[in-house]
Amino acid sequence: MTLAFIRHGQTDWNLNKQLQGSSDIPLNDTGRQQARDAVKTLEGVDWEVIVSSPLSRARETASIIAAGLDIELGPAYDELKERDYGQGEGATEEIIAERWPDHQYPGLESLESVVARGEAALERIDAEFGNRNTLIVCHGTIIRYTLAHLAGRPFDQIRNGSVSTFERNGEAWRVLSVNDEPLTEIVG
């Protein structure tokens, strides 16, 4: 079974460099185009189903890709929501630098919690879709840190509309690509 994380397309908050987190901000026109562009990146693999976070930016990205690849639009999973940044959500870089230079926002969800949700989502998707090649549309932080946990190494920021592939090999996961780029050394 091959899987791919896809980060949702751009929103106005992404464009304005506002911390988005679990706030439900919709795609903008650039984000919709990024979802259409992801279809081209995904061609050549027999994708069978696409699932997503329930946040509208992820769900709309998944709908666009499902239509473009003519595959099943599966369910949304609460476990795939973006990290909750608490009171930092909506803040610009300037506000963050002034109020929370250490990035410790009141109400901030721990990275351990984010990774645990990411792993729980993968187990649930694996249980529900078995050996079907599955696309998973969600968010930058949950993708970045879940992949880092699976691969045992850090990754840079995940770009809007980018595809990161991985596969299940017995009980282990193997990361194949991140941000549309194959890993030079496959680990996991």
User: Would you say 7 is a known binding-site residue?
Assistant: yes
User: Would you say 70 is a known binding-site residue?
Assistant: no
Strands (E), the chain: 2-7, 49-52, 72-76, 134-138, 163-169, 172-175, 177-178, 181-182
Is 8 one of the annotated active-site residues of the chain? yes
User: Would you say 141 is a known binding-site residue?
Assistant: no
Rg (CA), the chain: 16
User: Would you say 131 is a known binding-site residue?
Assistant: no
User: Would you say 152 is a known binding-site residue?
Assistant: no
User: Would you say 77 is a known binding-site residue?
Assistant: no
Q: Report d(CA 117, CA 173) in Å as an integer.
A: 16
User: Would you say 84 is a known binding-site residue?
Assistant: yes
Q: Report d(CA 99, CA 152) in Å as an integer.
A: 33
| Of 60, 82, 89, 109, catalytic | 82
Is 112 one of the annotated active-site residues of the chain? no
| Of 8, 79, 89, 139, catalytic | 8
Q: Are 65 and 42 in contact (CB under 8 A)?
A: yes
User: Would you say 83 is a known binding-site residue?
Assistant: yes
Phi, psi of 35 (to 5 degrees): -65, -40
Provide the annotated binding site: 7-14, 57, 82-85
Active site residue ranges:
8, 82
Provide the annotated binding site for substrate: 7-14, 57, 82-85
